[in-house]
Structure 1
């Protein structure tokens, strides 16, 4: 019998082989400190699942009544008390119906061995000489076992996506063979799989020790099932919540992630990603996907280059919505514990526990600087002031040292058009990385600015370049020691400010402090 500080007792059964440890108190203490695993059955799973699904609440436990409760904010969810009674009645009714249905089915099977069964993904789309039918049932209404033995999930759907059986996905991934692993993230491992119908898929297997896997499982289904965008990864389906494991099935994107190409296993000087225009298109398509999410009241909350997938033509598919939140309309923020990846987390969200759409904007600012520099968001091998790429970028831009950070393969020193675009994108990233969220642009403004930068350079043939002499005196030199002006909320998104900041960065990058000299600059009418 173990006793915690809150005076709640619980019993942990142990193997007979360890009886000697229990008898010897000197051995018990170090054994407990070393830790141990406890396997248990969650008898409140359905109640907690319904709490999250219907009320978006948190599941709790009433020790007085011995029942689970559903908590919304700092109070019980509406109808939670009455709901407990309704749940018990519902369970009893469902059990009676289940037994009755089973008896009927058994009798029918005795009378005939030729009853048809719903098609799985193995037979989906096939026809027989005498019939051509498809079947869709309400969520989890088909006959499935806890291990998911019915191939294809019996043709059922959940939130409009197909329910697969565990056995089908286990076979598709060759029993989750290590050679099929595509990636290993914070919440699960992704495997390559091939379904019976020939579709190549990516199967995410959530970690067993992830205590929030049910919430993340539901998040991805609820968000991706209802949203369709060319730059969002497509969710094909999932396993039943009664399955042996929680698995998610996505379209397979073959060309890895942006991180792989910038500083990972696919990094190469000959990669298409060494061309700035490819990186510019990645920035635009990612911003387009995030702007779409925000317009749909969804905050991604884990924007990073490892969650930006690329197809063979280097088009973007934003993925991994396990941490995403549905953002209620007409509210300024959602108070929640900070989650995300170090190096990408909005500092205001981290300090104040207030999640907003500007939190995604901050993370996207880090992504922009990765595209400009090919550096990792966090690298402990760098100088201690530069470990965090966001801090490093802000410091370099404020000190007119952007050129030191730019990836040499982009041609920043040789190609004027690239130089101008990179400088403008860095200026935009600087705005996204502001400490206070009010100083950051919205995702729509970010997208509009990126498209304008690309459009101005694509239409460069219609613009005339003029060489002018600019006298750089001590007054201009002094500007190098002054931080950029603070943005007001009203000025955010102002194209003139972006153009001015870009030009100022370009000007000061080439000037020398404290020396009067004449420099030649090219700028557009």
Structure 2
């Protein structure tokens, strides 16, 4: 039995797209030629009936299993929780957004299954799980991430985002760049995954006003406060991610300097005190101090409070990959939510209570809370 949204005839596809199918009316029929349709039985067999021993991860809307197809090919099978109405939207969005997108630093969507109440996505299998697992998880210290690997992860992620932001038409803003959405292959090359929150971003607009979605600690201030989404929101998240990669700690609030602060907040304080190198993870072993400092300063450029002061991802990639002198005089304090619940930046502090009703009308739609490990 084939996936219910993939009929044999164009007429059936059009009928479903017009609204008669359970999910097909929300699925762009152009994607039907780009990915494989799996039956639920195929995927159940591939994962040994979704056996717990094959579980490799869990997201906000379902569980991911390792599977082996009859051809012998390994895949990652992401099941959507049947009760998740919101997850259906993310599921369809991911298929529509990246079904025909291919890049070495993006996880490839191989196929899907929509069969009665079952909804499943099938991706390429990535051997070393997520960066969150390798860098921040309880078993992270069994995986040696030296500076060479960490630098390559930063560069590969920057290449993937440059492709999404500047080479694809229309452009794509990911909206949830974070360690758990960055997967590592056998050689620890990074692949950006989970496009459930992604949005297409045409050239002829300056921003999208949208409901807020993402993860605390990675959200750009203009987006977290007012729902004003641009490609620079991903740039901000990438800057936070770079700091995590360098220091080996979560961006969530932790005990930094004896106070509860976000990683970005603490990093900027160390920068102002001339102690930024103290942030570097000693687990890296020996590392080139000047290069590590440059990466952290690039992270500050990415997290500037004003979106228009942040570089494009192609510029970020250039700053990371070339040993060039950064104009640090252009740096101002990054924008972040401090421990008192205020927005801090070059213009001072702004309390949430001062934010207008219209700004906060975009009630948080999908926000993940991250707790330090």
So what's the TM-score if we normalise by structure 2?
A: 0.77
- Deviations 1:35-64, CA, capped at 9 Å, x for gaps: xxxxxxxxx97478566446xxxxxxxxxx
Q: Which SS does the other structure have where 1:375 is aligned?
A: coil
1:168 aligns with 2:39: no
Match of 1:327 in 2: 201
Shift of residue 384, structure 1, vs aligned partner: 7.5
Structure 1 CA distance, aligned partners of 2:139 and 2:198? 28
Q: How does 1:139-150 map to 2 (within 5 A)?
A: none
Shift of residue 387, structure 1, vs aligned partner: 3.3
Pair 1:190–1:336, CA change in 2 (3 A) = same
Pair 1:194–1:342, CA change in 2 (3 A) = same
Structure 2 CA distance, aligned partners of 1:422 and 1:202? 34
Q: Which SS does the other structure have where 2:183 is aligned?
A: strand
Structure 2 CA distance, aligned partners of 1:384 and 1:193? 45
Q: Which SS does the other structure have where 1:321 is aligned?
A: coil
More relative contact order, 1 or 2 (CA 8 Å, 6+ apart): 2
1:427 aligns with 2:301: no
Q: How does 1:264-413 map to 2 (within 5 A)?
A: 264-268=137-141, 271-273=143-145, 275-295=146-166, 296=168, 297-382=171-256, 385-411=259-285
Match of 1:232 in 2: 106
Structure 2 CA distance, aligned partners of 1:383 and 1:192? 41
Structure 2 CA distance, aligned partners of 1:219 and 1:292? 19
RMSD: 2.5
1:260 aligns with 2:141: no
Equivalent pair of 2:257/2:266 in contact (CA under 8 Å): no
Structure 2's unaligned 5+ residue stretches are 1-17, 333-373
Structure 2 CA distance, aligned partners of 1:239 and 1:389? 40
Structure 1 CA distance, aligned partners of 2:315 and 2:260? 28
Structure 2 CA distance, aligned partners of 1:428 and 1:47? 48
Pair 1:386–1:280, CA change in 2 (3 A) = farther
Q: Which SS does the other structure have where 1:256 is aligned?
A: coil
Shift of residue 324, structure 1, vs aligned partner: 0.6
Q: Which SS does the other structure have where 2:215 is aligned?
A: coil
Structure 2 CA distance, aligned partners of 1:378 and 1:272? 23
Q: Which SS does the other structure have where 1:201 is aligned?
A: strand
Pair 1:171–1:276, CA change in 2 (3 A) = same
Pair 1:399–1:316, CA change in 2 (3 A) = same
Equivalent pair of 1:235/1:251 in contact (CA under 8 Å): yes
So what's the TM-score if we normalise by structure 1?
A: 0.55
- Deviations 1:468-487, CA, capped at 9 Å, x for gaps: xxxxxxxxxxxxxxxx7555
Match of 1:222 in 2: 96
- Deviations 1:298-340, CA, capped at 9 Å, x for gaps: 0111101111111121111111111111112210111001101
Match of 1:464 in 2: none
Equivalent pair of 1:259/1:306 in contact (CA under 8 Å): yes
Shift of residue 272, structure 1, vs aligned partner: 3.6
Equivalent pair of 2:47/2:65 in contact (CA under 8 Å): yes
Equivalent pair of 1:344/1:366 in contact (CA under 8 Å): yes
Equivalent pair of 2:304/2:331 in contact (CA under 8 Å): no
Equivalent pair of 2:172/2:201 in contact (CA under 8 Å): yes
Q: Which residue of the other structure, out of 429, 439, 443, is the alignment partner of 2:309?
A: 439
Structure 1's unaligned 5+ residue stretches are 1-43, 55-137, 140-156, 457-483, 489-525
Shift of residue 382, structure 1, vs aligned partner: 4.7
Equivalent pair of 2:254/2:263 in contact (CA under 8 Å): no
Structure 2 CA distance, aligned partners of 1:48 and 1:212? 15
Match of 2:14 in 1: none
